[in-house]
Amino acid sequence: MEPLETKTEATAIPRIGDNAPAFKAVTTQGDINFPSDYSGEWVILFSHPADFTPVCTSEFITFAHLEDKFKKANCNLVGLSIDGLHSHIAWLRTIKEKIEYKGMKDVEVKFPLIEDISMEVAKKYGMVQPGESKTQAVRAVFFIDPKGIVRALIYYPLSLGRNFDEIYRALIAMQTADEFNVATPADWNPGDDVIISPAGTCGVAEERMTSTEGLDCKDWFFCTKKLSKDTVLNALLKK
């Protein structure tokens, strides 16, 4: 007899370019209708494994500390875990009243934290990875643009806290690509040179290699141009 196969529940993950799966939810800031409540703005929807856990606590303190920075970039934060509303409220009160992390203390989490005991939202976004845990969400991060489209996603295991510099860098890079019709190279930060899309015809390729109008072309397919930090931030950040 052949051995019986172990069945693992499929985990559907929204893809880049998909409409963000819609849902209604109860949160620590009232009911939300997602993503329609955030039309015209970017949203970072992120999950964490559980309330009253140390890695998650460090992350929530950091996200709350950076919320105004994300707001200036026209981006809202929305958190989720497979915990109840009262647990969320008690945990966030504990964070404000008792926890200090890297000099950050008395931190009030003002962005919504979704109650998802049924796992309905977590399953829509593939946040439950059975190989990691069947009852906790992994550390998923979804970047959703003002049209409600998934633009990027990052997944971390339960044991690994997120890099918040990278989350913010990715947001600004995507906004820069949209605003200036460019791409951003490896390790790009505002002020670094940006990438111009490869030439689509032989004529354009020739023009780029001979042009002196602000392009730096190493070859016909690899051209960069300068885009100052002030130009980027003045275009993207709210005053």
C-alpha distances out from residue 109 to 69, 119, 188, 217, 236, Å: 14, 22, 30, 47, 25
| C-alpha span between 64 and 69 (Å, rounded) | 10
**Numbered residues of the known binding site:** 139
| C-alpha span between 1 and 22 (Å, rounded) | 45
Strands of 48-149 (E only): list them.
75-81, 113-115, 139-144
**Numbered residues of the known binding site for substrate:** 139
**List 56, 75, 217, 223, catalytic entry:** 56
75 given a catalytic annotation: no
Hey, CA dihedral for 211, 215, 219, 223, is it positive or negative? Answer: negative
Active site residues: 56
